[in-house]
Copies of this chain bind each other. A is one copy, B any other.
Amino acid sequence: VKPGFRGLGVDLFPLSFPAIQRYCSATCMQRTIKVAQIGLGPIGLECLKAVAALPWARVVGAVDIRPARAGVSLGALTGIKKLRPLTVVQDVTQLDPQPDLVFHTAVSSFKDAYLQLEPLARRGIHVVSSCEQMIFPKLREPALARKLNLACERSGSRVVATGVNPGFVMDLLPLCLTSITRSVREIHVQRIVDASTRREPLQRKIGSGLPPAQFRKLLRAGQAGHAGLRESLALLAHALGHMPTRIIESADAIVADRDLKTRYFRVQKGQTCGLHQRATAAMKGRFRLTLDLKMYLGAESPCDAIQIIGTPPIQVRIEGGIAGDEATVAALVNITPRLMRAGPGLRLITELPLA
């Protein structure tokens, strides 16, 4: 059947203006809050710029531990005039006035994040973090997660971590899709990232330019690779009520078959140009879950694909994949009003309403 309509012929009744205006409520923040940025890497800088443009946020400062950054004007770093009077400090306690909320884009390990964030939580400061392991903090550090949560509950602070991966493509989005599927038996997520479009730290962590043997050694030692894959898996399994008895994660170098050049790296044929990492879970019962991530320079058809085997089955494809760096900044900024309306505590993204 070729549809034979010639434009839409029938106008259904339009809604009257008063009826529409009556239902609308402002969903933005109720008051302006004081915000500081912790960590001024590429994501942190973009986050700072985004926050400076928000109507409900007033930037009161930024923290970076690198000595070279100390005292540098935030105006110079961001190109934003109104931030000129502010300079980078090396410790949160030097911020004046104290922020109500910090954006934290400094570390991947929850253990490291805990040391930076627990003192803030104790003082009632809210935190939105990009710390990968904090997507599901009790996976590796249940005791620290409990302590941080307790500090939050005592002070009224709200802490959450979010991002794209972990934080969206491999956990929140599949979870969202399972809301309309019964008898979910398998979930498989595949993400292929063209790392040549990404920030320098990402190109570094996937081993760009290293001899494959050396990169594998780093992977084995936990000194390279993508953080948060097993946290995504654990968060998703947890949200679906499944109990993994074991999480198995493996990784390998992707080797360049020709010379490659990015803004930050030169990679010769035979050197590492990326990372293939995979996490699977062994579960009680028949439920299966696989997260598969390839990040390499020059990947030709980047995409995100989610397959859910259930009733009904669902296959979702995001052509080009979700652009990690921009989307991470968006995730950090967008979650803030939702976090502020949640109860105090160390929260999971899956606990917050979407709107």
Interface residues of A (CB under 8 A from B): 1-15, 17, 19-28, 50, 136, 138-140, 142, 164, 168, 172-173, 175-182, 216, 219-220, 222, 225, 230, 234, 238-241, 243-258, 260, 273-274, 276-278, 294, 296-300, 310-312, 314-320, 322-323, 326-331, 333-335, 348, 350-355
A319 to B308, CA, bound (A): 12
Is the CB–CB distance between B9 and A225 below 8 Å?
no
Name 30 A/B residue pairs within 8 A (Cβ), A-sorted: A1-B254, A1-B256, A1-B300, A3-B274, A3-B276, A4-B257, A5-B255, A6-B252, A10-B220, A12-B249, A20-B234, A21-B243, A22-B142, A23-B142, A24-B238, A27-B240, A28-B241, A172-B354, A173-B176, A179-B330, A179-B331, A180-B327, A180-B334, A181-B330, A182-B326, A238-B355, A312-B327, A314-B318, A348-B355, A352-B353
A57 to B9, CA, bound (A): 47
* Residue among A258, A314, A335 having the largest count of chain B Cβ atoms under 10 Å: A314
Min CB gap A60→B, angstroms:
22
Is the CB–CB distance between B239 and A27 below 8 Å?
yes
- Number of copies of chain A assembled together: 2
* 12 more CB-based (< 8 A) A-B contacts, given A4-B257, A310-B330: A10-B250, A13-B222, A15-B246, A23-B139, A24-B238, A27-B241, A176-B176, A179-B330, A180-B328, A315-B318, A317-B319, A348-B355
Give which listed residue, B23, B26, B222, B314, contacts A322 with CB less than 8 A: B314
- Known contacts A5-B254, A258-B1; is-contact A181 B327 (Cβ 8 Å): yes
Min CB gap A125→B, angstroms:
23
Instruction: Please name all residues of chain B whose beta carbon is closer than 8 Å to the beta carbon of A173 when the two chains form the complex.
Output: 176-177
A91 to B326, CA, bound (A): 54
A5 to B294, CA, bound (A): 11
Is the CB–CB distance between A354 and B175 below 8 Å?
yes
Instruction: Please name all residues of chain B whose beta carbon is closer than 8 Å to the beta carbon of A3 when the two chains form the complex.
Output: 254-255, 274, 276, 294, 296
A300 to B2, CA, bound (A): 9
Min CB gap A260→B, angstroms:
7
Is the CB–CB distance between A168 and B180 below 8 Å?
yes
Instruction: Please name all residues of chain B whose beta carbon is closer than 8 Å to the beta carbon of A352 when the two chains form the complex.
Output: 353
Instruction: Please name all residues of chain B whose beta carbon is closer than 8 Å to the beta carbon of A140 when the two chains form the complex.
Output: 15, 19
A257 to B5, CA, bound (A): 11
Instruction: Please name all residues of chain B whose beta carbon is closer than 8 Å to the beta carbon of A251 when the two chains form the complex.
Output: 8-10, 12
Is the CB–CB distance between B26 and A241 below 8 Å?
yes
- Known contacts A168-B179, A274-B3; is-contact A17 B355 (Cβ 8 Å): no
Instruction: Please name all residues of chain B whose beta carbon is closer than 8 Å to the beta carbon of A354 when the two chains form the complex.
Output: 172, 175-176, 179, 239, 350, 354
Instruction: Please name all residues of chain B whose beta carbon is closer than 8 Å to the beta carbon of A181 when the two chains form the complex.
Output: 327, 330, 334
Is the CB–CB distance between B353 and A5 below 8 Å?
no
Residue of B nearest to A329 (CB): B182
Is the CB–CB distance between A319 and B315 below 8 Å?
yes
